[in-house]
Structure formats: structure tokens, C-alpha cells
């Protein structure tokens, strides 16, 4: 019984922390982070998730220009492909001359 009471008192010291895991039938608790660690981690996350500055007006215009060029290229390629298909059909339609 002495061992059991020591284990329960030890488990009482440990509180569920962010790194608690379920391993088999036993739940393993990890010490809670101290307040300084929590603040440091929060600051790290905030730095990581800080929003990037929005592009200036010139940047927006450059993006619009790039999108417009992409759209034009796509249209041109689509027309070229359609024309290629038509040429193929024309070639196929011509009946072959029979050798006599």
C-alpha cells in the first residue's frame, strides 16, 4: 500500500499539460509549462503568424498585369490548339486518290 500511496501522491503533483499523451491504458501527464515558457511560445506563434504587409499600389498593378498576360497567353494557346484541330480535320477529310 505504501508504494500505491507514493504513486498517487506523485501523480497528484503532475497536472495535465499541453504535451500529455495517451499511451496504452495509462495516461502520462507532463508538467505544465511555467508562465515564462508560455509567454515565449505565444510570442513565437505571434511572430510566425504575423500578417505580411499588403502590397503597395504598384505591387497590385504588377499583379494585375501578370494576371492579364497569363489570361492572354491562355486564350492564344487555346485558339492555336483549336486551329490545329481544324487543320487536322481538313487533312483527314481529303479522300485518297486511288491508283489505277
Q: Compute the distance between CA of residue 95 and CA of residue 9 in angstroms, rounded to an integer.
A: 96
What average pLDDT does this structure show over 63-67?
A: 86
- Tell me, what's the pLDDT at 64? 84
Q: What is the pLDDT of residue 41?
A: 78
Arithmetic mean of pLDDT, 43-58: 73
Whole-model pTM over 0.85: no
Q: Where are the domains of the chain?
A: 35-92
Q: What is the DSSP string of 15-43?
A: ---TT-EEETTEEEP-PPPPHHHHHHHHH
Kindly write down the DSSP assignment for every residue of 64-85, as one continuous string: HHHHHHHHHHHHHHHHHHHHHH
Q: What pLDDT score was predicted for residue 4?
A: 54
**Which residues have CB under 8 Å from 19's CB, separation 6+?**
30
Amino acid at each position: 500500500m505504501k508504494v500505491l500511496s507514493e504513486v498517487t501522491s506523485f501523480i497528484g503533483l503532475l497536472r495535465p499539460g499541453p504535451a500529455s499523451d495517451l499511451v496504452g491504458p495509462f495516461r502520462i501527464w507532463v508538467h505544465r509549462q511555467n508562465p515564462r515558457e508560455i509567454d515565449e511560445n505565444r510570442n513565437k506563434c505571434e511572430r510566425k503568424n504575423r500578417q505580411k504587409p499588403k502590397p503597395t499600389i504598384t505591387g497590385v498593378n504588377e499583379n494585375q498585369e501578370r494576371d492579364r498576360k497569363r489570361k492572354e497567353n491562355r486564350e492564344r494557346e487555346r485558339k492555336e490548339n483549336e486551329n490545329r484541330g481544324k487543320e487536322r480535320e481538313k487533312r483527314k477529310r481529303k479522300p485518297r486518290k486511288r491508283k489505277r
